[in-house]
Homo-oligomer: A and B are copies of this chain.
Amino acid sequence: MKILISNDDGIDSIGIHKLKDALEKIAEVVVVAPRTEQSAVGHAITMKNPLRVTEYFKDGKFFGYAVDGTPADCVKMGIRNILKESPDLVVSGINHGSNTAINIIYSGTVSAAREAAIMDVPAIAISITSHTPGHFEEAGRIACELALEIEKHGLPNGTLLNVNVPDLASEEIEGVYITKQGKSKWDDIYEERIDPYGKKYFWLTGNLMESDINPDIDQYAIKNNCISITPIHFDLTDYALLPSLKKWGVERVKEKI
């Protein structure tokens, strides 16, 4: 199996090094990752500026390719210009911090995997739900397990698995669940400050308002010390609304706009 790995914390973050260590036990691994941290960039791609690719070394040994772009850029560039063919799988992570519920929308980690899904390559996004994670081995093992399962079962084109792992030792993890994306959101606060020149500026902060109380939801699994696996795709159509929207009567043929 050939696996392309990327992330949004940057090529020098611990998470991607631990992910490479884990996946190398089961596959040939190629790293293409952002040169610098790209958290919360969502599915941004770089079109107005050129991209550069450089080789990145760790302890004097070639580790992978650094791209001065976003996570989605790395996957596009990795497949089109570095591998020049589709890998069997793309894995993005191991992210430092949770990518459940609404965070999926903002996440660079998930967007790297989603870019692979757009390119019809099966993909996994994997995150540890702590900003100072300690238990990379558990996340690495579940990444390997799921990589082998995907090799066996495949994934439909356009779908990826979004995996969140609580930052706990193996024996403290209470289970593994297939879940749905939660609806917990941020209560955003813009903190107002004054710069040394007397001008106002704002920092975004806030708290996650946990509203997910159903056991089949990503955020609930994590709260209960379980690993969450959510299949996600990129068809955003709100199918449930289509019939009532059609009743509004805005549809028409050849009538003056």
Contact = CB atoms under 8 A, between A and B. Distances in A.
Taking chain A's interface residues, is the majority helix, strand, or loop, or is none over half, making it mixed? mixed
A256 B230 CA distance: 20
Interface in A115-166: 118, 138, 141-142, 145-146, 149, 153, 155-156, 158-159
Interface string A88-120: 000000000000001011100001001000100
A204 to B, nearest CB: 5
A189 interface: yes
A46 B231 contact: no
A62 interface: no
Contacts of A45: 40, 42, 106, 204
A174 interface: yes
25 contacts: A37-B48, A40-B45, A40-B47, A41-B41, A42-B111, A44-B106, A47-B204, A50-B193, A51-B190, A52-B199, A76-B204, A80-B188, A80-B190, A81-B202, A102-B118, A138-B257, A149-B250, A156-B238, A175-B252, A176-B251, A178-B245, A178-B251, A180-B239, A181-B237, A233-B241
